Amino acid sequence: MTVDDRFTDSPFQKADPAELTRFEVMDGPVSDWATDFSHMDEQYAENAHEIWDDLRGRCPIAHTERFGGAWLPTRYEDVQAIAYDTEHFTSRAIIVGNYRPPLDLAPVGGVPPISSDPPFHHDARKLLLPAFTKANVAKQEVTTREFCHSLINAFEGRDLVDAATEYAMHIPIRVIADMLGFPTEDTPRFKVFVENALEGINRSPEEREASTEVLFTYLLEQVRDHIDNPRDDLTTYLINAELYGQKLAPQHVVGTMALLLIAGIDTTWSAIGASLWHLAKNPEDRKRLVEEPALRATAVEEFLRAYAPVTMARLVKEDVELGGVEMKKEDWVLLPFPAANRDPEKFERADEVVIDREVNRHAAFGLGIHRCAGSHLARMELRVALDVWLDRIPEFSLAEGAPMRWSTGQIRGPRMLPITIG
Amino acid sequence: MKVQIDAQLCQGHGRCYDLAPDLFGEDDEGYATLTALTADGIVPEGREGDIRLAAANCPESAVLVLEEALNDRR
């Protein structure tokens, strides 16, 4: 037996400080959303829909000098054009921050395949797709349902719960821990990993790098444990996977594990939370879904359209004119799929939530080659989470006077969601 | 009516096989396929509405519907 020595040293590579392009952190109040937007602002978290509608009417592509310069398209047409254009836009970095990673990180990127560009992207993605087909994720449905019931069992005797932190959050964390084969008792750490990766972007590069190193160290421990004790899960699969006739580079294995851990949690947590938030404040929709379980799958698509949690990002690869603006090489571009989903040019009654909307060509999971690889898993979790909640807790509403908070950054969803049961 | 999946456009969102699991399927990577019922792209009689709905929900517009006016208006 040959020894797998790829993971003897940590695959975490500190970036050469000279190669990082750093920008001054600008976290003051936004003066004008069209010229100085910040997706890290609490106003953006709270009023994103109004801000996008306003910008769509007057820009429609907003700009900011923050983060070293970033664009924010708001029309479906522009978001789609950028998502499809891998010639002019690179995925080398997909979370906007105050520094840009070195150019030579492309085409693999730190967390393949979401951070990869063609043609490498296609091959790295192909490795992952079989695990995430609808048929394969259906195998997780029974345990997911049981887990949702166990969360609701824990509400016994209470009439006030936080649906964000006591329900929605735990579901994707448990599902991805099971798929990666990580110990259940480690799951409280995952929330911290996610916050560091996605919400801590205004911290210094050193701080961000330090938290990434903590994550990679954890993942490396898991890899080593799986090398010693192989099992039927995604971690063992990635350790053994081959690309171009060779085992994957250690950075690729651990980077993909980081992606699977981070990308599946905040996003699905947000979608479940936003759906429950909508139902808590719209009793007619809630009653209808309680009485008509057959309508729930359709309603889930509408919640995904109206409350799509994920905004992706790109860096401009070559200067390009798009939607009437001149984007320069290395500018950031946000891809707000939720704003595209509310474009009245594309959707009738775009600003309304119509739970029986039959034609719903929404882009919640992205468009083009980077379509969310976990979309079937996310849909399964969202459907099961709502199913179990509506069957067990048919009567609920937003707790009056209790604080509610939406997350800032590229993933938008409720982070505090106090709900009164009954 | 005939139906095709444009393999260049399909990204495996799976809306078609979600909405009409007997008319569309998924391959080992989640990309859409036709099924025994839609073999050779021929749409079973009475299922035109399901095909149109699947096409209208595809985010990539990868479900191509070829209307044949004569058969369709019966």
The pLDDT value recorded for residue A16 is 73
CATH number at residue B61: 3.30.70.20
Q: How far is CA A151 from CA A26, A166, B60, in A?
A: 40, 7, 37
| pLDDT bucket at A206, cuts 50 / 70 / 90 | confident
d(CA A31, nearest CA chain B) in Å: 35
Q: Is the peptide bond prior to A118 cis by the omega test (within 30 degrees of 0)?
A: no
Instruction: Read off the pLDDT of residues A256-288 as tens digits, 9 standing for 90 and up.
Output: 999 999 999 999 999 999 999 999 999 999 999
d(CA A193, nearest CA chain B) in Å: 28
Instruction: Read off the pLDDT of residues A111-170 as tens digits, 9 standing for 90 and up.
Output: 999 999 999 999 999 999 999 999 999 999 999 999 999 999 999 999 999 999 999 999
Asked whether the predicted pLDDT for residue B47 surpasses 50, the reply is yes
Asked whether the predicted pLDDT for residue B73 surpasses 50, the reply is no
What is the C-alpha to C-alpha distance for residues B36 and B53, in angstroms, rounded to an integer? Answer: 19
Beta partners for A326?
A: A321
Q: Which domain holds residue B33?
A: 2-72
Residue A380 token pair: 């399964």
What is the C-alpha to C-alpha distance for residues A392 and A376, in angstroms, rounded to an integer? Answer: 24
Under DSSP, is residue B42 helix (H, G, I), strand (E, B) or coil? strand
Contact B12 A129 (CB under 8 A): yes
Residue A219 token pair: 């993942």
Residue in B with minimal Cα distance to A80: B60
Residues 6+ apart with CB under 8 A from B68: B1, B2
Asked whether the predicted pLDDT for residue A356 surpasses 50, the reply is yes
* Mean pLDDT estimate for chain A: 95
Q: Are A302 and A72 in contact (CB under 8 A)?
A: no
Q: How many domains does chain B have?
A: 1
Contact A358 B53 (CB under 8 A): yes
Residue A335 token pair: 């891809």
Asked whether the predicted pLDDT for residue A2 surpasses 70, the reply is no
- Cα A327 to the center of its chain, rounded Å: 25
Q: How far is CA A406 from CA A69, A105, A147, A149, B68, in A?
A: 25, 32, 25, 25, 49
Work out whether strand A160-162 and strand A418-421 pair parallel, antiparallel, or are unpaired: antiparallel
- pTM for the model: 0.96
Which DSSP string corresponds to A292-360? -GGGHHHHHHHHHHHT--BEEEEEESS-EEETTEEEPTT-EEEEEHHHHTT-TTTSTTTTS--TT-S--
Around Cβ A353, how many Cβ atoms within 10 Å? 17
CATH of domain A5-421: 1.10.630.10
Residue in B with minimal Cα distance to A341: B59
d(CA B4, nearest CA chain A) in Å: 18
Q: Which of A300, A375, A383 to mutate to test the interface with B (most CBs of B within 10 A)?
A: A375
